[in-house]
Amino acid sequence: MGQTRKKKLAYRVAAVTVAENVKAAPGGTYKAFCGQTGIAERSLWRWRGQQRDGKPLLSVPGPSKTEPLDLVSLFSELLDLKPGRKRMGGAGALYKKFQEQLSRRVVRDLTRTLRLEYWRRVESEQRRVSWLSPGLIWSMDDTEMLMELLGLMVPDLSKVYWNQVRDLASLYQFEPVSGPSLANGEIVAAHLEELFEKYGAPLVMKLDNHGNLNNWHVARVLGHHFVIPLNSPTYYAPYNGTIEEGQGEFKRMVKNLCRDRKWPRMGREEALEMIRIYSELAALKLNQKPRPKLGGASSCANFEVGRQDKRYYYDRRQREEVFTEMKAMAKSALAEARLTGQRAADAAWRLAVETWLRREGLITVSVGGKVLPYFA
């Protein structure tokens, strides 16, 4: 009920109450009360009768509806509407279907509420995490592409798969692992070991939820180098947006390098080797590309600056202290929320890691372009 209707209802309730008090006083009459307040006598009689019969003093305007309301169908139809910024697509057709059950005003209020709630949720999902410290937070994910999109037609090889690792702040793309199938846990772990030996280990590794990235092989390598794991929730933009954009950029680069070339006939192994070479070339080109996000610097230059400034500040003892503090924060969050189960534990761990990173100035979190304040 809108504010105007609420005020009208309160006014009528108060008018009936005061009229009864006036009538109960010596010499008081309803007619005298109406004369003093300007309320029509017929209106006062109607309100008194409605109150006496237990009916609402303020009814919905318009003629009463002749058919009972089918809530199941109504909710189903509401969910099929297309929310726009100023109006709900399909609201007119919805009213025509339910005009014998609901007034136009009710349909308008329902669709408006639904539209506002939809865009409120969209805006809340635009909460973005900005990764500020090159070299300290990496991300790992898998992607794939049809061979025909690369202009290669090879027997028994319809797709190519990549396992990619990227520095989130500088967008530096490390050498990817490519193959005819998804890299298993042992291959992923061996690749990580090579990268850590070559570039140094990050402080935090953001992982996707694939089984090949979450197994004891990978956990052993991360634990050996005291790298803190951070699993992102599925399809959650604040964590997945950066690497999803990077995956698309990488595949476009590989496609541009391979497309429109006159490839000789080659076997499966030759094609895989060719893809490996072009994948590394694509990563190299992307790392040398000037980026407005980095003030015109390349990912390569930004990553090297980050390594020199920040990487070795966190030695093994300090990493262990950070990990211990994050575990304590996660346990405290679970205890305060009184939640149990793996999903709650995962959410508490993400909250702990994010809170610590925000406190140390390694990330910022913003909504609609405005950086959210940090609260200890």
3-state secondary structure 209-241: CCCCCCCHHHHHHHHHCCCEEEECCCCCHHHHH
Given a contact cutoff of 8 angstroms between Cβ atoms, the answer to whether 210 and 142 are in contact is yes
Q: Closest Cα partner for 132 from 105, 171, 104, 181?
A: 171
State which amino acid sits at residue 304. E
Question: When comparing pLDDT for 100 and 121, which is higher?
Answer: 100
Indicate whether 66 pLDDT > 90: no
Residue 129 vs residues 9, 208, 286: alpha-carbon distances, Å: 47, 16, 22
> pLDDT tens digit string along 123-156?
666 667 888 889 899 999 999 998 888 887 788 8
Given a contact cutoff of 8 angstroms between Cβ atoms, the answer to whether 155 and 268 are in contact is yes
How many whole angstroms separate alpha carbon 52 and alpha carbon 69? 27
Indicate whether 298 pLDDT > 80: yes
Mean pLDDT of 292-318: 83
Cα distance from N-terminal residue to C-terminal residue, the chain = 39
Mean pLDDT of 294-302: 92
Question: When comparing pLDDT for 328 and 18, which is higher?
Answer: 328
Question: When comparing pLDDT for 366 and 165, which is higher?
Answer: 165
Indicate whether 373 pLDDT > 70: no
In this prediction, residue 21 carries a pLDDT of 81
> pLDDT tens digit string along 148-199?
888 877 888 889 999 999 999 999 999 999 999 999 999 999 999 999 999 9
In this prediction, residue 155 carries a pLDDT of 80
Residue 153 vs residues 42, 160, 180, 265: alpha-carbon distances, Å: 87, 12, 13, 9
Indicate whether 36 pLDDT > 60: yes
Q: Read off the pLDDT band of 86 (50, 70, 90).
A: confident
What is the helix, strand, coil percentage profile of the chain, to 5?
Answer: 55, 15, 30
Report residue 118 as tokens: 């939809």
Residues whose CB falls within 8 Å of the CB of residue 4, separated by 6 or more in sequence, listed in order: none
The correct CATH number of 131-312 out of 3.40.50.12280, 3.30.420.10, 3.40.50.920, 3.40.50.300 is: 3.30.420.10
Q: What is the pLDDT of the chain when averaged over all its residues?
A: 82
Mean pLDDT of 250-270: 84
Handedness of CA 216, 220, 222, 228 (dihedral sign): positive
Given a contact cutoff of 8 angstroms between Cβ atoms, the answer to whether 269 and 178 are in contact is no
Report residue 204 as tokens: 């935090």
Indicate whether 236 pLDDT > 70: no
